[in-house]
Amino acid sequence: MIVSRGFRTGEGPKAASARAFRDERLLFKHPRFGLAPDKTYSRDDYKGGFSDHLPVVLEVR
């Protein structure tokens, strides 16, 4: 994430909240670990998922 100097120093907008966007469409049920992000690749194996990380939602005020 790239932010301005004003955001970092508190002179500009402020972060009100941040969270992982956890949506069922982005997850799969891992046999050992339960729900996890639906990966595109696992090692050299193409799995066809979206990402191995969930998106972040940042609310700015």
In the predicted model, is pLDDT for residue 1 greater than 80?
A: no
Q: Tens digits of per-residue pLDDT, 22-60?
A: 999 999 999 999 999 998 998 899 989 888 899 999 998
* Positive or negative: CA dihedral 12, 55, 19, 23: positive
Output the six-digit token pair for 20: 């992982």
Q: What is the pLDDT of residue 20?
A: 94
Q: What is the pLDDT of residue 35?
A: 94
Q: What is the pLDDT of residue 12?
A: 83
**CA-CA distance, 56 to 61, in Å (whole number)?**
16
Q: Tens digits of per-residue pLDDT, 4-22?
A: 888 888 888 888 999 999 9
CA-based nearest residue to 55, from 6, 29, 19: 19
